[in-house]
């Protein structure tokens, strides 16, 4: 007997709950792209689980017609670890934010990534605390004035991609809430990657941090201030693809293409490089330092997945010792009989 999988549409993934983000919030677009991407993955809805922590982004699971857990602040990766360990058949998404994932939940994020469970972590980075109404977050820039930093934030910001690569994440990518097509493509690649996928999405919080990513989204400037990564291609950017990035020793530098430099002088992107240094270098190209920020897949390599190794051990133990038997366990070692 053959059962055809029903063909699903984006609308099939919408739950019956009203979406309650502020009008104009970047989260809507990410939700829309997720609903659009999932049908193409061929995974039935009941096999998908969304797990989130606390924050605006973490309302996400309520809006998906899949299984879901809206958990506690920062801990979503830990729930995903337990779930995936016992249910490798499920597709597990972790939805987190910059505060949830990098502040209160930094430890869990780091450990989920280094274990390389086959899960997809999407971090909505709006560089602010939205749900608690506008305090600075671990990704807010120095000097950011907020309710809790009236004279400007003095904490050095964390950079999500650098952290993920530092933990040797096997898939690391960045997209932007308003780059709809690009975002859909990145989510699809993340879902298809076997291992922990870490995706940072620049997300505009139009209420508490409006315009934080204008430099990336503004039509006039975006091609000068972002660089779209393509595997195997040189790092070229600019409205007329007139500039590029080359390595000067270990330092990246921007060069004008023309007489002095041609594309063959430029750094060539290799997302499959086993050594994570190139990806790390890309993650450090920052707007505030005068660089275009990379968008796309920084790293995609293959490595053993935690749940697979765990289950291999379980199988190996059964093969070596036979299926566990309680009676022989209880009677193992020294026993004596009273009559």
Partner 1 sequence: MPVSIEPLPTSSKSTVVLDGATVRLAGDSGDGMQVVGGQFTATSALHGNDVATFPDFPAEIRAPRGTLAGVSGFQVQFASTDIFTPGDTLNALVAMNPAALVTNVSDLEKGGILIVNSESFEPKDLKLARLETNPLEDGSLDEYRLFKVRLDTLNREAVKDIEGLTSSLQDRCKNFFALGLIYWLFGRDLAATLRFVEAKFGTKPEIVAANEKALRAGWYYGETTEAFDHSYQVEPAQLEPGTYRNIMGNQALAWGLITAAKLSGKELFCGSYPITPASPVLEELSAFKHFNVRTVQAEDEIASMCSAIGAAFGGAMAVTSSSGPGIALKGEAMGLGMILELPMLIINIQRGGPSTGLPTKTEQSDLLQVMFGRNGESPLPIIAARSPGDCFEVAQEAWRVATRYMTPVILLSDGYIANGSEPWLIPSVDELPQIPVEHPVASADGEPFMPYQRNEWLARPWALPGTPGLMHRVGGLEKEDVTGNVSYDPENHQHMTNLRAERVARIADDIPVQEVQGPSKGKLLVLSWGGTYGACTTAVRRCQADGLSVSHAHLRYLNPFPRNLGELLEAYDEVLVPELNMGQLRLLVQARYVRKVVGLNKVKGKPFTVSEVADKIRQLLG
Element (H, E) at 279: helix 277-283
User: What distance in Å separates the CA atoms of residue 20 and residue 182, rounded to the nearest whole number?
Assistant: 25
Task: By CB under 6 A, tell whether 291 contacts ligand SF4.
Answer: no
User: How many residues bind partner 1, per CB under 8 A?
Assistant: 62
Task: By CB under 8 A, tell whether 61 contacts partner 1.
Answer: yes
Distance in Å, CB of 50 to partner 1, minimum: 8
Task: By CB under 6 A, tell whether 294 contacts ligand SF4.
Answer: no
Distance of alpha carbon 63 from the chain centroid: 19
Token pair of 218, please?
Answer: 């503004």
* Measured CA distances, 336 to 30, 49, 327, 330 (Å): 66, 50, 15, 12
Out of 13, 21, 198, 202, the only residue in the binding site for ligand SF4 (CB under 6 A) is 21
Out of 25, 31, 54, 300, the only residue in the binding site for ligand SF4 (CB under 6 A) is 25
Out of 71, 139, 140, 170, the only residue in the binding site for partner 1 (CB under 8 A) is 71
Task: By CB under 6 A, tell whether 136 contacts ligand SF4.
Answer: no
Task: By CB under 8 A, tell whether 42 contacts partner 1.
Answer: no
Residues 111-130 that bind ligand SF4 (CB under 6 A): 126, 130
Q: What 8-state DSSP symbol labels residue 265?
A: G
- Give, in degrees to the nearest 5, the angle at Cα 62 between 95 and 192: 40
- Residue 294 binds which of partner 1, ligand SF4, none (CB < 5-8 A, kind-dependent): none
Question: x/- site string to partner 1, residues 109 to 148, per CB under 8 A?
Answer: -xx-------------------------------------
Closest CA to 47 of 70, 64, 27, 30: 64
Beta strand pairing call for 226-228 and 197-202: unpaired
Nearer to partner 1, 65 or 139 (CB): 65
Nearer to ligand SF4, 25 or 83 (CB): 25
Out of 32, 41, 85, 207, the only residue in the binding site for ligand SF4 (CB under 6 A) is 207
User: What distance in Å separates the CA atoms of residue 246 and residue 64, rounded to the nearest whole number?
Assistant: 43
- Residue 47 binds which of ligand SF4, partner 1, none (CB < 5-8 A, kind-dependent): partner 1
Q: Choose the binding region for ligand SF4 from 9-17, 21-29, 86-94, 140-148 (rule: CB under 6 A).
A: 21-29
Element (H, E) at 33: helix 27-37
* Cα atoms found within 13 Å of the Cα of residue 309, Cβ hemisphere only: 9
* Measured CA distances, 233 to 245, 257, 260, 269, 296 (Å): 12, 15, 19, 6, 13
Out of 72, 158, 180, 255, the only residue in the binding site for partner 1 (CB under 8 A) is 72
Closest CA to 172 of 157, 156, 193, 158: 193
Task: By CB under 8 A, tell whether 248 contacts partner 1.
Answer: no
Task: By CB under 8 A, tell whether 240 contacts partner 1.
Answer: no
- Residue 206 binds which of ligand SF4, partner 1, none (CB < 5-8 A, kind-dependent): ligand SF4
List residues near ligand SF4 by CB under 6 A: 21-22, 25, 27, 56, 126, 130, 205-208
């Amino acid at each position: 007997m053959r059962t055809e999988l029903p063909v699903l549409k984006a609308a099939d993934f919408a739950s019956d709950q009203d979406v309650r983000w502020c009008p104009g919030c970047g989260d809507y677009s990410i939700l829309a792209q997720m609903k659009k991407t999932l049908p193409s993955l061929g995974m039935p809805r009941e096999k998908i689980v969304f797990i989130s922590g606390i924050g605006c982004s973490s309302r996400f699971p309520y809006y998906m017609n899949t299984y879901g857990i809206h958990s506690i602040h920062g801990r979503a990766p830990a729930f995903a670890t337990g779930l995936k360990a016992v249910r490798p058949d499920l597709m597990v998404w972790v939805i987190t934010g910059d505060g949830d994932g990098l502040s209160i939940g930094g430890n869990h994020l780091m450990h989920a990534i280094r274990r390389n469970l086959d899960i997809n972590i999407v971090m909505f980075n709006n560089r602010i605390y939205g749900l608690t109404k506008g305090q600075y977050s671990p990704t807010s820039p120095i000097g950011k004035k907020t309710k809790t930093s009236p004279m400007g934030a003095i904490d050095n910001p964390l950079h999500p991609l650098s952290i993920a690569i530092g933990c040797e994440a096997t898939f690391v990518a960045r997209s932007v809430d308003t780059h709809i097509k690009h975002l859909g493509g990145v989510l699809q690649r993340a879902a298809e990657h076997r291992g922990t996928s870490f995706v940072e999405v620049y997300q505009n919080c139009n209420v508490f941090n409006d315009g934080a990513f204008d430099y990336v989204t503004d039509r006039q400037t975006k091609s000068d201030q972002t660089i779209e990564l393509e595997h195997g291609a040189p790092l070229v950017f600019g409205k007329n693809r007139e500039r590029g990035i080359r390595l000067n020793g270990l330092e990246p530098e921007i060069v004008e293409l023309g007489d002095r430099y041609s594309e063959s002088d430029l750094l060539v992107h290799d997302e499959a490089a086993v050594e994570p240094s190139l990806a790390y270098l890309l993650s450090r190209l920052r707007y505030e330092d005068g660089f275009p920020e990379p968008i796309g897949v920084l790293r995609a390599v293959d490595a053993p997945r935690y749940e697979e190794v765990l289950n291999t051990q379980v199988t190996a133990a059964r093969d070596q010792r036979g299926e566990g038997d309680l009676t022989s366990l209880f009677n193992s070692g020294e026993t004596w009989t009273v009559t």
